[in-house]
Amino acid sequence: MSENYINLTLENLDEEHLCCAIGDKKHQDGVTCKKKWLRERIPEGHVCRKLDAKGKVFIEYAPLETAWVPVEGDNYMFIYCFWVSGSFKGKNHGKDLLEYCINDAKQKRKSGVCALSSKKKKPFLSDPKFLKKYGFETADQIGDYELMALSFDGSKPSFVNIAKAGEIDSSDLAIYYSNQCPFINNSIGQIREYCDSAGIKIDFIEVDTLKKAKELPQPFNNWAAFKDGEFVTNHIMNESYFKKMILGGK
């Protein structure tokens, strides 16, 4: 197994795999959507760094000013995804990737690095205990969700005010999503098909611009589900989890 790391670029994007959706046919449409999204983000300074191996070992981050999240701050980097799984755990890959991000931010004279986390570890969010080992602290929070930050100059990022509302003006089920994650395309398809067959009204709102992402009323990373106007979760759901989490097991 190679211990080299690769940064995705416009030149290698087509040939390189996306770590989180390796060889899974049901996510290939999502991979296509994600690569299209990345092709537009990389020129903005978006970084996706991964282990040169067939595994889920990668970190993905971007300048906060162009990160599709309702977070604001002066000159920060924002970590979207940070994942080391399976047999790759315990081999310092998490340390290597996070330190690369931190050093990259320092070299680019950033004010710090931040990431969406939670008081208790949640799927698709960075582990707060791991981040704290590297000096990350809670800069802001919305309920259980925390914005963790490693500041180099004493400044702190924060959720935009509208994100703290946690509600929308609609009593219908609603899911906000972007193409930042390759799992989303399949999840939306499963939930849409189920709701159509069950006669359940649901709105799918694609977040397809930076402006929309910065103005979302919840701690959005790439997905946010609402029920009766209230924010429920940022957990990307398949049909079974949707029925359990949103419909109460129906």
The CATH code of the domain at 5-160 is 3.40.630.30
> Half-sphere exposure of 44 toward its Cβ, with a 13 Å CA cutoff?
17
The C-alpha atoms of residue 147 and residue 139 are separated, in whole angstroms, by: 6
The mean pLDDT value of the chain amounts to 91
Token digits for 72?
């604001």
Spans of all domains in the chain: 5-160, 163-245
What token pair was written down for 215?
């103005």
CB atoms closer than 10 angstroms to residue 87: 8
235 close to 123: Cβ distance less than 8 angstroms: yes
Strand-pair category, 137-142 with 145-151: antiparallel
Helix (H) or strand (E) holding 231: strand 230-233
pLDDT tens sequence across 84-134: 887 888 899 999 999 999 999 999 999 999 999 998 777 778 889 999 999
Share of the chain above pLDDT 70, in %: 95
| Residue whose entry in the numeric block shows the structure tokens 């029925």 | 243
Which numeric CATH code is attached to 163-245? 3.40.30.10
Phi, psi (rounded to 5 degrees) for 48: -125, 110
Predicted pLDDT at 2? 45
Is pLDDT above 60 for 43?
Answer: yes
